Structure 1
Amino acid sequence: MKIKSAGSVMALAAILTACGGSSHDPAATNGAAASQPATQYDASTLGAECLVLPAAGQKLQFSMYMNDVPASFYSADFKGVGPMSFEGADYQGIEIDAVSGFFYTANDVKQTALFKPEAPMIPLAAISHMDPGTTADDKRYRYTFQDEATGKFVTPDVTGLPLNASRTYAVYQERGVGGAPLSAPEKGTDVTVTYLGREDITVRGVAYRQACKVDVATNGKLRQYRATAWLAPQHGIVKVEARSLNKPVSGYLETSGLISAK
């Protein structure tokens, strides 16, 4: 099965796959209203308490809407894998399972996205798992990042980003199929993260207090997207609104909260 608007969905999901759901206060994500955090967080910087990845075994479901032609609804399960080694480096993994119309290509059945907690809105590597019933090999991707302010290659880190400040990275992609070595890095896009402050937000009946609000913009050769993401303290990303800057496509993604704990 191949979805006509899969490219649009994955461009949206590429900066969203770090879903919320820390092991801290899970009751706040299962449909009960969240209480005001005991700590009054500093709104002048993007705090580490918002930069959270799901722990191993934690599972969430995200719903997505894209106003493509035709307009489409999608859903996908996200599951924390925990620490993973990939091409000699250590990451935290998230598995993405198709639930309804969420595919890269006709043969893909699952994605694994790899992150560091210092920038949970930017995947550092990915594995596209093919349907075992086909002869297709899994595809592997690794991304390297050049800080456009310093020119140095770095691991993205937005911890402590000041209010209204931005950090921009040039993104280079390496690809591999099956057990073949990864290709040479190729410039793909730029990604800019801007911290916009704190907001209280309610997502599907759940209130999240003092959520960090960030703008994430990608500027690629073929597609340019801009998204606003809300990252709740101790939960991570709980909602995203995104739109294409060069095509008449927009959408949103939000979490239902934890549907299973560790």
Structure 2
Amino acid sequence: MEKLEHDLWIVQAANAALGPMARALLRALGRPAGPGNVIPDYLVMAALIVLFWTVICLIVRRSLSVDNPGKLQVLIEDGVAAARGVLHDYVGHKGPRYLAIVATMFVFILTGNLMGLVPGLKSPTANINVTLGCALTVTVYYHLQGVKEQGIGPYLKHFAAPPGAPIFLAPIMLPIEIISHLSRVLSLSLRLFGNIFGEDLVILILFSIVPFLVPLPMMFLGLITASLQAFIFVLLTTIYLGGAVATEHEHHEHGEMVAGEV
């Protein structure tokens, strides 16, 4: 694997420009950096995503029009409408207020997944540090929103006695709920990391054997995998948000609606 990989020129350029500053900062914090690149490739790739979409948003903002929207504006509006619809279906009437976190995660992960298909770039989501960071961000966010929506007491109570469960099951339900929420972090991070890392590794091996034509089918499959993994991540995020912000009254209404449909 190490023989197949090599330092990207953009990573070397970033370390040449910002490396001394980063080393000085780490030294001041009592954590001197070792030899090699002090700024890892996945951080450089993640910064490129932020820079790329910042520039795109600034360009698109200048051309926004209510009376005569362009094709890109129409495409963005359709995407936002679709995201709002998914949030409304899984979270309820409060769903659209969480559009920012869900849309940001989708755009970041999708772009990160696709970067590995571009010569000279790497997928930051093929690194466990990035996928774990995304998973922890989502987990902390939906817990904070749950506390904000329900209050600290009722929100912590649902860990020991979920809606519909008798209180005497609390000693059993509490450890199950804690393990369940911890496993969500592992599930979100490892699923995304494993799929993108494996895909990029296969493409890299094929390129090292036969540089032309042979890797193309795998790269086409990579387009599907990248989109699917980004969608799965944000769909699970939406489901977790819905469970965190739903009050006991809403859980009861949802149960009656499901029972009525059956």
TM class by shorter chain equals under 0.3
TM-score by length of 1: 0.24
Greater Cα radius of gyration, structure 1 or 2: 2
Q: Which has the higher strand share?
A: 1
